[in-house]
Amino acid sequence: MSWSKLKQQLESFLSPALQGRVEYRATSYRYLPDKAGSSYISVDKKNVFDMRDKTSGIRWYQTELEIKNDPEIVIPISPEEIEAVRKDTKGPVPEDRLIVIARNRKMTELAKELMAAQAALSKSNFTVEANKFLTTSIEKSLESSEIIMNVFALLDKRVGKKRILSMAEKVKMKHPVVRYFYEVRRGTV
């Protein structure tokens, strides 16, 4: 599918409040076959999300430690997770320490997932991912571990006000790119 057709389809799924604010763009180099073009998403005429550009205004993680130390990522801990830690430690451990251990375990798991998603994103092809989004259900796109699928889904008009507002807790555990586009979308509902 040509870029203009793909762009038209993607933009037809944009939430009405975001039409004119969010734009999908691409560059290509006709006479330089060894130089790949780039695709990006702009918000209010600013290039916000370029999959290959780590210098954008959105934070990209270099290490798992950066993810673990990010104060914006909030990890909710369930009583079941605390109970699992209690069984693993097999001894008298203070309750507050059990919570810290459970949170650290969950944060390590999340950090690995975010690093993997970020690495996959930098290697992916924007047009391939966009085509995949157009053929995938909105529920699967929202639940996907792929950053770009989450971004496309958050900007989609099929995701209503109730769903956007109910996603607040889940989004706190997502990559900063996803959180940024969530805030853009939440500001329009």
- Per-residue pLDDT of 84-132, as tens digits, reads 888 888 878 888 888 888 988 888 888 888 887 777 665 557 778 888 9
Q: Is the pLDDT of residue 163 over 90?
A: yes
pLDDT confidence bin for 49, thresholds 50/70/90: confident
Tokens of 122: 């930098």
Residue 141 has a pLDDT of 92
CB contact at 8 A, 131 and 7: no
